[in-house]
A = this chain, B = another copy of it.
Amino acid sequence: MLAHMHPTIKDIAERAGVGLGTVSRVLNDNPRVSETTREKVMGAVRDLNYVPSLAARGLSLGKTQSIAVIAPFFTRSVFVERLHGIEETTSANGYDVVIYNVDATEKRDRYFRTVPDPRRVDGVIVISLPPSTPDVAHFQRSSVPIVFVDVGSPLCEPFDRIVINDVEGGRMATQHLIDLGHRRIGYLGDIPQAGFNFTAGEDRFEGYRRALAGAGIAVHPEYHLDGRFGREVARTLARRMLGLAERPTAIFASNDTQALGVLEAARDLGLDVPGDLSVVGYDDIEMADFLGLTTVRQLLFESGRRSVEALLRRLGEPEGVPICDSLPVELIVRRTTAPPR
């Protein structure tokens, strides 16, 4: 017995003594089927353990029941959390998630060109990767709905997007330090990784700049350093900044990982945190809680969830003005910030 073979609607039709169309109608809840035949068919479906072929349905319908996620460095907690929200919402709605990890600009370009294909996926979520003008033109030609998460670029305005108010987050972090009485406040950012043009860093810096301006504090160029993402680089840079004759009494790092580097640098130099140095991070990754790091929390999981919802909405309603969903940020004050001595 070919018990392991997969039955097709033809097998079901034969066993139930009905036609192919009828089986398909039953499976798709078409009301134009009598109750008795419906039951006969459902019986055969159970008997033969029928499972429809997604590929065949996809071919016939032009739908794949799967959505693609294009994200950079998906091992970083920030992306993992977003992906988590995406996965949960997607699976709850009967879609599959296909992940495309971008660890080099060539991969991004390749995925941007090949993934948004209606025969491949029903929708695409792009995280933190701003497209170029040709990319946008290509996306618009494609009939696949695209949602951008955490991409501030104005080029994305024709598409649905979930944005984070990073300017506000940067402002809040900096204002917190100002409110504590700090005047010499350093900023440690990550360098827009060659060609990636992440915008979050710049926005957070803009918030920092505005907060200082609002308090009438001049931006001291030596208090602003950027480096490649990662703890080690941040540690080195922070050490340099803390070695200045008139060193800052507080440092705002544009993400928690770099904030850890700052903490290490402080430890290296024998500086007490928060006594000699206040430190604020950004993202509120798990480690931040463990270390008592003051930071700015963003709704990562939620951003993933909403991106899927936006996609599903767009699938039902292809036309219509693009929505822009802005997520709030929140300052989480812990033990690495205090008034300066």
Contacts and interface: CB of A to CB of B under 8 A. Distances in A.
B53 A59 contact: yes
Counting chain B CB atoms within 10 Å of each CB, which of A64, A88, A98, A114 scores highest? A98
Contacts of A80: 74-75, 80
A75 B84 contact: yes
A56 B75 CA distance: 33
Contact of A87 (B74, B87, B117, B264): B74
A228 interface: no
A199 interface: no
A101 B75 CA distance: 15
A6 B55 contact: no
Contacts of A87: 74, 99, 101
Contacts of A4: 141-143
B264 A66 contact: no
A61 to B, nearest CB: 10
Interface string A255-288: 0000010001000000000000000000000010
A80 B71 CA distance: 14
Contacts of A83: 74
B101 A88 contact: yes
B3 A141 contact: yes
A3 B88 CA distance: 36
Contacts of A88: 101, 103
Given A75-B81, A287-B290, A290-B231, A51 B117 contact: yes
A183 B6 CA distance: 60
Contacts of A81: 75
Contacts of A96: 98
13 contacts: A54-B119, A54-B120, A55-B55, A55-B58, A80-B80, A88-B101, A88-B103, A91-B100, A91-B101, A91-B107, A97-B99, A99-B99, A264-B290
**Nearest 4 Cβ contacts at the A-B interface:** A55-B58, A53-B119, A55-B59, A4-B141
